Amino acid sequence: MDATAQVNDTYVGIDVSKDRLDVHIHSVGGAFSVSRDAAGLEELIKRLKPHALKAIAVEATGGFESIVVAGLAEAGMPVIVVNPMQVRHFANALGKRAKTDPIDAAVIAHFVEATKPEIRPMPDADTVVLADLMARRRQIIQMITAERQRAMRSTNDRLQKSIARLLKALQRELDSLDGDIDGSVRGSPVWREKEDLLSSVPGIGKVIARTLLAELPELGHLGRRQIAALVGLAPFTRQSGKWKGKSFISGGRSSCRTALFVGALVAARYNPDLKAFRQRLIDAGKPKIVAIIAVARKLLTILNAIIRDKSKWTSKTT
């Protein structure tokens, strides 16, 4: 392969493992591997630059992909993170049952060429840091919840003392993280303004607002259907011929969806507009879970419009 050759609409797939990146350039069939470190990333960028890149797809792998995505984005390359489940379904549809890193890279490249997902700007460094802090906060809360459950089950005094010590340490860490998160948000005029806008909606507290700031940077930049699909709150209907199944939601960013569900539960009680909206659905015979999903979706639409218009929430209920 001529390293200086330009190829139109070049799609690249990268399979990320702990120590290695397997790369497949779909349009020319080129494949190579580099180490997942600074030197390997530098080599990757050097080898991809001669191509007229349309999209570089990196499969989400629990965090191993972060440094790769950041490096490619910093180099000005059109990088996108793809859902591994969608890629595997695509591979199954193609009849590709074998699974090795080079094969996965080729499938990823083929997937992004076939689906042509929209390339959006990557979150800036500050947003990535805030997202990491919020993710760590969720982990600490999960550990606190697990220890409290153990305390409820345990009758041994020594175990109870051990659990109490750990809970105390975890609470200190949680307080420290909250301080770091508060400093990050309050240190940024843009984030501070957005947090105040989001928190103006009854049902949206600091934690929910900061979760959306950190993990949904597209808020305010997409249409209501696009943002709902991104979070996993857009309803999909199974239909074949005259048969029509029930609508359901799936996929999307689970942390944002969970935060919005919590917000919806609060808003359905204390936000006059959304409380009335939920009651109308219940009166129409909708199941309560369907009603709360609809409230979460409407809440997201409201938040999206608030950030887009830079205008605080005002009730429409007279």
CATH of the domain at 45: 3.30.420.40
Residues 179 and 204 grouped into a single domain: no
Where b means 16+ CB within 10 Å and e means fewer, 210-239 reads bbbbbbbbbbbebebeebbbbbbbbeeeee
Does 232 map to a domain? yes
197 and 306 share one domain: yes
Same domain, 233 and 317: yes
pLDDT at 4: 40
Same-domain pairing of 202 and 276: yes
- Contact (Cβ atoms closer than 8 angstroms) between residue 215 and residue 137: no
How far is it, in rounded angstroms, from Cα 208 to Cα 261?
A: 10
Helices (H), 116-156: 125-153
Based on the fold, state whether residues 226 and 296 are members of the same structural domain.
Answer: yes
Beta strands in 148-294 (DSSP E): 236-240, 243-248
Q: What is the rounded CA–CA span in Å between residue 256 and residue 275?
A: 21
Regarding whether 198 and 286 lie in a shared domain, the answer is yes
d(C-alpha 210, C-alpha 204), whole Å: 10
Contact call for residues 184 and 126 (beta carbons, < 8 A): yes
Residue-by-residue pLDDT tens, the chain, 318 positions: 444 444 457 889 998 888 888 899 887 768 898 988 888 888 989 988 888 888 888 887 766 777 788 778 777 888 888 877 788 888 788 776 656 667 788 888 888 888 887 777 666 677 778 888 888 998 999 999 999 999 999 888 999 999 999 999 999 999 999 999 888 888 888 888 999 999 999 999 999 999 998 888 888 988 888 888 888 887 654 444 443 445 545 567 888 899 999 999 999 999 999 999 999 999 999 999 999 999 999 999 999 999 999 999 988 765
Torsion of CA 108, 221, 248, 281, to 10 degrees: 180
**pLDDT for 98:** 57
Q: Is residue 4 part of a domain?
A: no
Residues 28 and 17: their CA atoms lie apart, in Å, by 23
The answer to whether residues 154 and 271 belong to one domain is: no
Residue 1 lies in a domain: no
- Looking at 169, 187, 205, the residue that finishes a domain is 187
- 202 sits in which H/E element: none
How many domains does the chain divide into? 3
- Give me the domain span that covers residue 175: 125-187
Tokens found for residue 234: 């857009």
The answer to whether residue 245 is domain-embedded is no
Domain termination site, one of 115, 147, 178: 115
In a domain, 288, yes or no: yes
Whether residues 180 and 81 fall in one domain: no
Query: What is the CA angle 287-292-294, rounded to 5?
Result: 95
Half-sphere exposure (CA, 13 Å, Cβ side) for 238? Answer: 5
Q: How far is CA 240 from CA 31, 92, 110, 245, in A?
A: 40, 21, 27, 8
Residues in CB range of 78: below 8 A, 6 or more apart: 53, 54, 55, 56, 119
Asked if residue 104 is part of any domain, the answer here is yes
pLDDT of residue 119: 74
Question: According to the model, what pLDDT value does residue 99 have?
Answer: 62
Residues 30 and 139 in one domain: no
Dihedrals phi, psi of 161, to nearest 5 degrees: -65, -40
Decide if 246 is inside a domain: no
Note whether 107 and 183 are same-domain residues.
Answer: no
In a domain? residue 168: yes
Q: 154 and 196 share a domain?
A: no
Query: How far is 250 from 229, CA to CA, in rounded Å?
Result: 9
Question: Is residue 205 domain-shared with residue 304, that is, in the same domain?
Answer: yes
